[in-house]
Structures are given as structure tokens and as C-alpha cells.
Structure 1
Amino acid sequence: MSFAFNRSSLLVLASVFLIACGGGNSDSGGGQVPPEPTAEKTTVIAIGDSIGNGFGIATPWPTILSGKISREMVNTSVTNERTDFGVRNIEILVNEHNPSHVFILLGTNEALRDESISNAISNLQSMVDFARSRDVVPVVGTLPPITADSAQNRRADEISRGIRRLNNAVVAEVRGALGSGETIIDGVHPNQEGQEIIANAFASVFP
């Protein structure tokens, strides 16, 4: 017995073969294996100064915030540090901890020392830009009032206005939440109630 194959017959046989072997892009076949879903990030970072470490007088806002948002918090707040501290360390911290968010409260020490306001704002923008480049959400707090000195408080207010204009940042209105500073106990540092207020300000912009 002999068989005569024409072009149409060959195409039909080829289609049957592909279906039987699971070829093509079928979900059930031999196409590319879909990637594993990305694990949800459960860690966040806080970068700050003595306000963020409680200055020995209160439970700091990053610790309180951790409980409010149910995320593991890495608090890297260091007394006397300024915005350049954040610029130097944000890449190291993101690489080490792979956070979903970085919460930033820096700039008070520039206001206290009459240092460059524009440089402080530029440093904060650099931190925001780096975070966004690594798919990390940057949340920047405006500065608490400084009740010890009106000139220092004006500089804190000017830095806060710059923070509100940062590109691609989520802004937490810490300064507005603290009002005229009734919870500031030494001119600079909040008491426990003030730390709670700061944590609430950050939590209010967390999804």
C-alpha cells in the first residue's frame, strides 16, 4: 500500500504532533515555566537622628511604628546625625535588608547648627531617588518644631517646606501633627506622647 502526502497533509500532521507534545505557549504544555511569585517584603528601615532613637527619654517612633504597620523595623537612628549620614548609609541598608519602605526623619541637626538648608534638602532628594531606583518606597517626615530657639525653628520650618516639595517622596506631616511643640520636653526631643504622634504621622501614609 502506498501513501501520497501533499503539503496540506504535512501541515495537519505537524499540528497534531505539537498538540500531543504540549508545544507552543499553552499554560499546560512545554512553554516557559512562569516565574515564582515575588515574596512580599516584610522589613522596613528607619533612618534618623536622636529623635529616632528616643534620646534615652522615650520609646522611639520607629519602634512604635513597627507595631502599627506590622512590619519588622530596622532602626538606624543615630544621635547628632544629619542628612549626609542617610546618603552614606541608605545603599548599604537597602542591600542588606531589602526593605519595602524607608522612613526618613533627618534635618533637625542642620537646623540646630545653622548649616546649609539647600544641601539638606538635596541630600534628602538623593535618598529618595536611590530608594525609588531600588523599588523601595521613601517616606520622609517633615521636621518637629524646635522650641528652644526661634531662629532654629524657622530653619526647621524651611527644611520642612523643602521636604514637601521633594520629587517622588511620600511625605509624612510630622511637623503639622506635633503642632506648636507642647510635647517637646527639652527644646528638641519629643516625650512619649510626641513619639506616638510621630509614629502615627508615618503610619497614616503607609498603605
Structure 2
Amino acid sequence: MRSLLVVWSLLFIFLSSCGNNEKKKGEEESSDKEVVKQEEKQQDKGVILFFGNSLTAGYGLEPNEAFPALIQKRIDSLGLSYEVVNAGLSGETTASGKNRVEWVLNQDVDVFVLELGANDGLRGIPLDETRKNLQEIIDIVREKNPGAEIVLAGMQIPPNMGPEYTSEFRNIFPELAEKNEISLIPFLLEDVAGIPELNQGDGIHPTVEGQEIVANNVWEVLKAILEDPKS
């Protein structure tokens, strides 16, 4: 009788052990499937790359206060499947941007927002050079990511360089947008430039409140692209 009890006890332990192993195996498989689902979900997200200078980088502010981060919050609130990448670099000119863009485009991009030119204008760089560099950046984006939507951010500068330079500089952006059939943000700093309380002490870089207005200016153009992407 005692031997029989021992046998039944061992059998019970064996069956319990098998059950626990099966349960653990099932939990591991469930966890693995969840990870795969999360990875697939991330891979399914489109990429919006903001390529610009200190205005895009959010100079003087926290990264989450720059307008690209504000755009990401708006996208998330609407349940749109896009991930924003902030590739802003303080001090960037169109020439240095042209040299950097291929490296940035090592990842697939669905929307490319080009925000460069302000530093060219403030430094008085020849307008033909600025125009040529912007065009080459557009060409590189189209070569590396043929299906990407390109958005060009229009820029204006103070009249320090004279009315002719200032006027022609402003015209570069709509002319390039029309030539290349790409979307245009008419003036990135609309309702922000020249307003002291919306800019930091240097009078150039937006404050937190200014960045919110810039984000609205960007969203006015970007929303139509995200809500009705090309097939």
C-alpha cells in the first residue's frame, strides 16, 4: 500500500511538473508573439523626417518642445501611424545640408520636410548657390526615396541685405516648390518672426509658445499629406 502511495505521489509530481512546463512554454510563446506584433506595428509606421537647422532642432529648448515633437504629439492624438524623426542641426546651411542628406536617408522616408536656407540668407550667401543646393537636396531625396513626399519650408529674412536680395531670397522657395511639384509651407515663421514675446533673447529662435505656432504652420500643409497619402 505504501509503495502504491509513493507511485501515485511521483506520478502527481510528474504531471504537475509537465503542466507547469506547458504553462511556462505557453507564456513564453505568448510573450514572443506580443514582441513580434509590436515590432511589426513599429515597422508598419511611416517615417516623417524633418531636415533642417536650429529652427527644426529646437535651439535653446528641450527636444520635446521643438515643433517636430509637437507634430508627433498631434499625429499620435489622431491615431495616425507615423513616426517623426528630428534631423535638425544648428548652424546648418544648404551646402552642409547637401553633404549630410545622403547619410540621413539611410532609412526609408515617407515624408521629407526640408527646412534650410535661413542661415544662407543671414550670411549673405549668393542666392544662386542657395537655390542650387536646395535643388540638389530635392534631387537626392527623390533618387534615394522615389516615393517620398517632399515638403519645402518657405523662409524670409530681415532686410539687412537690401530689398533686392531679400525679395529674391523669399522667392526661391515657392519657385522651387512649383518647379518640382512639391508641397510648400509658405513661411515657416508666420506669426512668429519679429514678435519679441514669441522669440528667445536672440530674436531669431522661437520660444515654447513660438514653436507651437510654427507647428501649426507646418500642420496646415502636412495634415493633407498624412490624411490622404499617395498610393
SS at match of 1:76: strand
Alignment of 1:84-103 (within 5 A): 84-95=95-106, 97-103=107-113
Shift of 1:137: 1.2
SS at match of 1:43: strand
- Residue 146 of structure 2 corresponds to residue 140 of structure 1: no
Q: Which amino acid aligns with 2:210?
A: G
**Given that residues 67 and 211 in structure 2 are in contact (C-alpha distance below 8 angstroms), is that contact kept between their aligned partners in structure 1?**
yes
TM-score where L is the length of structure 2: 0.63
By relative contact order (CA 8 Å, sep 6+), the higher-ranking structure is 1
Change in CA separation of 1:55 and 1:40 when aligned onto 2, cut-off 3 Å? same
CA distance in 2, matches of 1:117, 1:43: 31
- Structure 2: which 5+ runs fail to align? 1-42, 77-81, 226-231
- Residue 53 of structure 2 corresponds to residue 49 of structure 1: yes
Change in CA separation of 1:116 and 1:41 when aligned onto 2, cut-off 3 Å? farther
**Given that residues 151 and 182 in structure 2 are in contact (C-alpha distance below 8 angstroms), is that contact kept between their aligned partners in structure 1?**
yes
Q: Percent identity?
A: 25
Shift of 1:181: 2.4
Question: In the alignment, what sits opposite 2:129?
Answer: 119
Q: Would you say how many aligned residue pairs link Structure 1 and Structure 2?
A: 165
Change in CA separation of 1:145 and 1:193 when aligned onto 2, cut-off 3 Å? farther
Change in CA separation of 1:46 and 1:164 when aligned onto 2, cut-off 3 Å? same
Question: In the alignment, what sits opposite 1:172?
Answer: 185
Give me the CA root mean square deviation: 2.4
**Given that residues 114 and 153 in structure 2 are in contact (C-alpha distance below 8 angstroms), is that contact kept between their aligned partners in structure 1?**
yes
TM-score where L is the length of structure 1: 0.69
Shift of 1:80: 0.9
CA distance in 2, matches of 1:75, 1:197: 18
Change in CA separation of 1:57 and 1:153 when aligned onto 2, cut-off 3 Å? farther
